[in-house]
Amino acid sequence: MTLLNFDLWTGRRVFVTGHMGFKGAWLCALLSRLGAETFGYGWDPRPRLLYRELDLKRHQSLEGNINDTAMLGAALTGFRPEVVLHLAAQSLVLPSYADPIGTFDTNVMGTARVLDAVRNIPSIRAVVVVTSDKVYRNNEWVWGYRETDPLGGKDPYSASKAAAEIVVHSMARSYFADAGAARIATARAGNVIGGGDWADHRLLPDAARAFSTEQPLPVRNPHSSRPWQHVLDPLAGYLMLAEQLLAQKPDPLGAWNFGPSADDVLSVREVADLFAGAWGGGVSWRAENDPSQAAREAGLLAIDSSLARKELGWLPRWKAKDAVTRTASWYRRNTAGESAVVLVDEDIRDFLDNRFKCADAGV
Ligand SMILES: NC(=O)c1ccc[n+]([C@@H]2O[C@H](COP(=O)([O-])OP(=O)(O)OC[C@H]3O[C@@H](n4cnc5c(N)ncnc54)[C@H](O)[C@@H]3O)[C@@H](O)[C@H]2O)c1
C-alpha cells in the first residue's frame, strides 16, 4: 500500500484556495514538506489563525475574495499552477443559518468562478474541489453514503455544498471534456480534527479553549455520532486524487468520499471523554440543553470510502481515538508554549512515516 508519490510533488506548482483556513494551512504545510511550490489565495479575518503561525517554504500568499473574478484570474494566470485545490468556503453549518446568501455566494458562485477562471489557464491539469460529507440527502441511515447516493442538504451550508457539486460536474462536462483539458473531481470528507483549529462551534477547538482556562466544556448533542478523522487523512486523500487526475486515469463519477472506517465512528460524548482524559488535570465537560440548536445539526452521517480505497489505494492512517488524543496533546503543548511550526511538523512527519511502516508491513 502506498500513500503519496513524493517525487510527483517535488517542485509541483499547486494553487490552494482557502489557504488561511484550518485545512488550507495544514495542506500548505504538507505540500511544503513534500517539496511543492504553493500559492495560497483566500481571505480570513479571524483573529487567530494557524496559518499565520506557520513558516511555509516555497509559498506565496494573496489575500483576496474568491468572488473577485479579476484578482482570482490574475493570481492563477501569474502563478501558472498545474494543480488547483479549492477549499475556500464558508465552512460552518450554524453561521450558514445566519447568512445563507453569503454562504451560497461563497460556496456556490465562488466554486463556479474558480472553475471559470481555470478554463483560461492552460497549465492547469488537475482540480480538486473540496465539498463535504454533508452533500448527501441525510436519511439518518446507519450505513455509509456512497458517491452515487442522492445529493441534498437541509441547512444552507449543506445545500450550498451539494449545489457546488452540481456546478462542478456540469462545468466539468461542459468545458473540460476534451482530451488534454484539466481533469476535475470533488472530494467529500467529514468532520476533521487536528491542532490549530480555532474556529467557533467546533467541539475540539471549543474544548481547547475551555480547558486552557480551566472551564468545563459545554457539549451540544452528546449522543450524536460523527465520523471523526485527523485532518491529514483527507488531505492525503485530496493529494492522491490529484495524482490520479494528473495521470488522466478514468474517473466515471468524478466524486470521491474520504471518510473513516465504518467501525471507527465515535459519539460526541466519547470524543469529549477522550479529549478531557488526554488533556489531564481533572478537566470536565457538561451536556448543554438547547433543543433548538440540536435540531439544526444533523445526527448520524457516515460515508463509505470504498471507492477511494480501491481505486486510489487511500486508507485512513489514524483511528479516531488516536486522532483525538493526538489533537488534545497538540493543543495542550501549544497552550504550554510549544510552537505550531514544531507541532504541525511533528504530526506530518509521524503521518508520512506511517506510510513506510505500513509499506514494510505489506498492509
Ligand atoms: N473542517 C471540517 O471538518 C470540514 C468538513 C467537511 C468539509 N470541509 C470543507 O473543507 C474546506 C476547508 O474547511 P476548513 O475546515 O479549513 O474551513 P475554514 O473555514 O477554516 O477554511 C475556509 C477558508 O476559506 C476562507 N473564505 C471564506 N469565504 C471566502 C471568500 N469569499 N473568499 C476567499 N476566502 C474565503 C475562510 O476565511 C477560511 O480561511 C471547506 O470547503 C469546508 O467546507 C471542512
Q: What is the mean pLDDT of the chain?
A: 92
Share above pLDDT 70 across residues of the chain, in percent, rounded to a whole number: 93
Q: Which region, left, alpha or beta, applies to residue 140 given φ > 0 means left and ψ of -120 to 50 means alpha?
A: left
User: Which of 65, 87, 157 for a ligand 1 pocket mutation test, highest count of atoms within 8 Å of Cβ?
Assistant: 87
CB-neighbour burial class of residue 57 (10 A; exposed 0-12, middle 13-18, buried 19+): middle
Is the full-model pTM beyond 0.85? yes
Q: What is the pLDDT of residue 264?
A: 86
Query: pLDDT tens across 224-255, in order?
Result: 877 789 999 999 999 999 999 999 988 889 99
Tens digits of per-residue pLDDT, 187-229? Answer: 999 889 999 999 887 899 999 999 999 999 999 889 887 778 9
Q: Tell me the best of 23, 228, 271 to mutate to test the pocket of ligand 1, counting ligand atoms within 8 Å of each CB and taking the most.
A: 23
Amino acid (1-letter code) at residue 303: I
Residue 313 pLDDT: 94
- 170-182 residue pLDDT tens: 999 999 999 889 9
Sequence-ordered list of residues with C-beta below 8 angstroms from that of 321, at least 6 positions apart, any chain: 266, 274
Q: What is the pLDDT of residue 355?
A: 54
Q: What is the pLDDT of residue 300?
A: 66
Closest CA to 139 of 152, 126, 120: 152
- Cα of 49 from ligand 1 centre, angstroms: 12
Query: How many other CB atoms are there within 10 angstroms of residue 74's CB atom?
Result: 14
- From the list 197, 237, 194, the residue with the least C-alpha distance to 328 is 194
Q: What is the pLDDT of residue 362?
A: 33
For the residues 53-79, what does the mean pLDDT come to?
A: 97
Q: Is the pLDDT of residue 67 over 60?
A: yes
Q: How far is CA 162 from CA 85, 167, 322, in A?
A: 18, 9, 30
The minimum-distance atom of ligand 1 relative to the CA of 20 is 39
Range 308-340 burial, b when 16+ CB lie within 10 A, else e: bbebbebbbbbbbeebbbbbbbbbbbbeeeeeb
Rounded distance from Cα 27 to ligand 1 centre (Å): 12
In three-state secondary structure terms, 329 is: helix
Region 1-14 average pLDDT: 88
Question: Which CATH class for the 9-352 domain?
Answer: alpha beta
- How far apart (Å, rounded) are the C-alpha atoms in residues 259 and 28? 21
> Residue 140's pLDDT band (boundaries 50, 70, 90)?
confident
* Dist. CA 87 → ligand 1 center (Å): 6
196 Rama sector, left if φ>0, alpha if ψ -120 to 50, beta otherwise: left
Higher pLDDT, 1 or 25: 25
Number of neighbours of residue 121 by Cβ within 10 angstroms:
17
CB 362 within 8 A of CB 13: no
pLDDT bin (cut points 50, 70, 90) of residue 296 is low
Q: Are 276 and 207 in contact (CB under 8 A)?
A: yes
Listed by start position, the domains of the chain span 9-352
Give me the pLDDT at residue 363, please: 29
Q: What is the pLDDT of residues 82-127, one digit of tens each?
A: 999 999 999 999 999 999 999 999 999 999 999 999 999 999 999 9
Rounded Cα distance, 283 and 51, in Å = 28
CB-hemisphere CA count at 13 Å for 110? 26
What type of residue is 167?
V
Pocket of ligand 1 (CB under 6 A): 18, 20-24, 42-44, 65-67, 87-91, 106, 110, 130, 132, 189-192, 199
Q: Packing angle between helix 320-335 and helix 268-279, nearest 10 degrees?
A: 40
- How high is the pLDDT of residue 265? 81
- Cα–Cα distance between 95 and 218 in angstroms, integer? 18
| Residues 235/26, Cβ–Cβ less than 8 Å | yes
For the chain, the maximum distance between any two Cα atoms, rounded to a whole number of angstroms, is 60
pLDDT in tens, 316-358: 999 999 999 999 999 999 999 999 999 999 999 999 975 544 4
- Partners of residue 193 on adjacent β-strands: 230
DSSP bridge partners of 41? 17, 62
